[in-house]
């Protein structure tokens, strides 16, 4: 089945830019979705279809996808952005959704 | 707006069947355009998709769980349900219900989740 690889952790200072990657074989050919999960809470969709934002999600959250890497970019990081972030695609080979292992974003 | 709420026992004995229900409010399952999914998260771990159902009753399950999973829908109650048979401690997890757009494939609405512990 399709494997999505995320770094376990990313650290960034407040006000800086965080980039969280999601690697997969030719992931650029797939639609990638990103979720934010804070402790004790359900995941929240923050980016869908590579780079679109649901209503209510700040413009600071953006996404890109090309080649073998998709990236979630969080600009002007705030303390409230500290959370786990998961990427997700539809795996056509196994015909079901797949999630990355998650990345813990720490705001220093 | 559409909201999802899971309900069911928080404790299940080994070898028994885990049963959860997701109640949809603020919208109708029967309106179409969405798949209604179950997703779980083992303690401290990532997300695992269990399966989904369409309002018509069509289902699709994660192959790794397929032999033990049944998802059903009750459109009259605007609910869909999960049954997972022959549970073991490895099925201890937070179980979420979620809505997935049939065009985007993204899970745009999630329930708050319910913790299920498998223990005697």
Written as tens digits, the pLDDT of chain B (120 aa) is 999 999 999 999 999 999 999 999 999 999 888 999 999 999 999 999 999 999 889 999 999 999 999 999 999 999 999 999 999 999 999 999 999 987 778 999 999 999 999 999
The reply to whether A58 touches chain B by the CB within 8 Å rule is no
Residue A54, helix vs strand vs coil: coil
Q: How much is the average pLDDT of A56-63?
A: 97
Sequence-distant (≥ 6) Cβ neighbours of residue A50 within 8 angstroms: A31, A32, A63, A64, A65, A70
pLDDT of A33:
98
- Report d(CA B62, CA A8) in Å as an integer: 25
CA of A54: which chain B residue's CA is closest?
A: B108
From the list B108, B84, B58, the residue with the least C-alpha distance to A88 is: B108
Residue A47, helix vs strand vs coil: strand
Residue contact B110–A43, C-beta within 8 A: yes
Helix spans in A65-104 (H): none
Question: What letter would DSSP give residue B82?
Answer: E
Quick check: A95 pLDDT over 90? no
């Amino acid at each position: 089945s399709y494997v999505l690889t995320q770094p376990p952790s990313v650290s960034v200072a407040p006000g800086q830019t965080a980039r969280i990657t999601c690697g997969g074989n030719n992931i650029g050919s797939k639609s990638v979705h990103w979720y934010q999960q804070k402790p004790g809470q359900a995941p929240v969709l923050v980016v869908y279809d590579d780079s679109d934002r649901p209503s209510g999600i700040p413009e600071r959250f953006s996404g890109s996808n090309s080649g073998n890497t998709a990236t979630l970019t969080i600009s002007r990081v705030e303390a409230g952005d500290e959370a786990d972030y998961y990427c997700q695609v539809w795996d056509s080979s196994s015909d079901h959704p797949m999630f990355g292992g998650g990345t813990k974003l720490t705001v220093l | 707006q559409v909201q999802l709420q899971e309900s069911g026992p928080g404790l299940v004995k080994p070898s028994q069947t885990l049963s959860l229900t997701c109640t949809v409010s603020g919208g109708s399952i029967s309106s179409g355009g969405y798949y209604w999914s179950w997703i779980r998260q083992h303690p401290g771990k990532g997300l695992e998709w269990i399966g989904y159902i369409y309002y018509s009753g069509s289902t699709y399950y994660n192959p790794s769980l397929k032999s033990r999973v049944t998802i059903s829908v009750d459109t009259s109650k605007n609910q869909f349900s999960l049954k997972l048979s022959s549970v073991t401690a490895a099925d201890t997890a937070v179980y979420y219900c979620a809505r997935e757009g049939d065009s985007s494939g993204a899970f745009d609405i999630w329930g708050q989740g319910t913790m299920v512990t498998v223990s005697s």
